[in-house]
Amino acid sequence: MQLFETIVKHGEHEEVVICHNKDAGLKAIIAIHNTALGPALGGTRMWNYQSDEDALVDVLRLSKGMTYKAAASGLNLGGGKAVIIGDPKTQKNEALFRAFGQYVQSLNGRYITAEDVGTTVKDMEYVYAETRWVTGISKSLGGSGDPSPFTAHGVYMGIKASVKEKHKSDSLKGMRVAVQGLGNVGFHLVEELIREGAEVTVSDIDADKCKKVEKQFNVKVVSPDQILAADCDVLAPCALGAIFNDQTIPKLKTKIIAGGANNQLAEARHGQALKELGVLYAPDYVINAGGLMNVFVELEKYSPERALQKTETIYESILAIYEIAKKEDIPTNVAADRIAERRINQIGKLKQKHTGFNPRTFGTLKVDGR
């Protein structure tokens, strides 16, 4: 593998840590992309990667994404991520996560971890046995628990901002909203939409989830191949990524896309394609930042009220992105990137000037009670 070539190709990362503990069977990579705004926060993914190169590319890409997400959301956090190479179904054990925790500890707060795809709150409790630099742990240990209701609430606020932008009023009463995916985020989102009087259409590849939601709320269920082209005012993707591509975009009937799924655009150029069709797109990493805001509050001193308050700032953040997109005549995904980059440059410089901030010595953030 051309290690440095791969790293340089995927952005200017501050630090990439290769973690290996033979006895514990640990092979992991921690990538710290940028700490100009604060310590790098991002979850630990456990995945059976085809090759070490695939794992490296994934962690570089994901950590850079976290820098942009935190910056555009107005959080004083940088971007980082970790991947553990292995099968999450068969290769997990206490020693593996504790060995990983020792690597996180060795970074002394420059990187803060959390759960992600393939890892659970229980796994993070093993990590927590070795380091305080872990968040999103269970409520019984003083953590904030499941972030999904906060992610869903942020998406709901982003939908209201988008409706305001298109229709001048942000009321969702009578608005036709189509929700793809009824998992942790989708379910809570449907609950909030119904509460405000929206007409909700849903879909999930898991028929049991559809039945559960249909039983609980007054919703219309459609098949998974119909939901993206549903005739609606707002389409809220809350399942997988890369769903807006050359095949799906021409079939869209919605004029607003605002949902919680990560990496919704197959490629950045699809943001331009949506703009040309007059579809307002709420950039995914901004509208789905409620979960990140929740764990950020956990790092200070957890209060659900503060987490909720922070999540509600997504409304203004989304409107600010639409404003810049209009002013500069650019797609909204590009506007979000510009806002993030400007904040990293301006605030990052300010911190250096006023506090002598040096990413190398960062680590003063207090994790309450630990």
The Cβ-side half-sphere exposure at 240, using a 13 Å CA radius, reads 7
Rounded (10°) CA dihedral 66, 68, 73, 77? 60
Question: Least separation, in Å, of the C-beta of 182 and ligand NAD?
Answer: 5
Nearest residue (CB) to ligand NAD, 174 versus 241: 241
Nearest residue (CB) to ligand NAD, 203 versus 333: 203
Which of 44, 180, 201, 254 touches ligand NAD (CB under 6 A)? 180
Stretch that binds ligand NAD, among 50-58, 82-90, 97-105, 178-186 (CB under 6 A): 178-186
* Whether 220 is catalytic: no
Which of 73, 148, 254, 317 touches ligand NAD (CB under 6 A)? 148
The Cβ-side half-sphere exposure at 37, using a 13 Å CA radius, reads 26
Contact characters 233-262, ligand NAD, x per CB under 6 A: -----xxxx------------------xxx
Nearest residue (CB) to ligand NAD, 226 versus 361: 226
Which residues does 223 contact at the CB level (< 8 Å), separation at least 6?
203
Nearest residue (CB) to ligand NAD, 158 versus 331: 158
Question: Least separation, in Å, of the C-beta of 296 and ligand NAD?
Answer: 13
Q: Does 147 bind ligand NAD (CB under 6 A)?
A: yes
Q: How far apart are CA 250 and CA 243, in angstroms?
A: 12
Question: Least separation, in Å, of the C-beta of 41 and ligand NAD?
Answer: 13
Q: How far apart are CA 236 and CA 222, in angstroms?
A: 14
The distance between the two most distant Cα atoms of the chain, rounded to a whole number of Å, is 61
The Cβ-side half-sphere exposure at 140, using a 13 Å CA radius, reads 3
**Which uninterrupted H or E stretch holds 20?**
strand 15-21
Which of 34, 63, 131, 151 touches ligand NAD (CB under 6 A)? 151
CA distances from 19 to 16, 86, 95, 170 (A): 10, 13, 14, 48
For residue 267, which amino acid is it? Answer: E
Contact characters 111-140, ligand NAD, x per CB under 6 A: ------------------------------
Region 197-216 residues binding ligand NAD, contact defined as CB under 6 A: 203-206, 209
Q: How far apart are CA 109 and CA 3, in angstroms?
A: 25
Q: Which among 81, 92, 310, 351 is annotated as catalytic?
A: 81
Which of 79, 101, 186, 331 touches ligand NAD (CB under 6 A)? 186
Question: Least separation, in Å, of the C-beta of 256 and ligand NAD?
Answer: 18
CB crowding 232-247: b at 16 or more within 10 Å, else e: bbbbbbbbeeebbeee
State the residues that interact with ligand NAD by CB under 6 A: 147-148, 151, 180-186, 203-206, 209, 224, 238-241, 260-262, 288, 291
Report, as residue numbers or ranges, the catalytic residues.
81
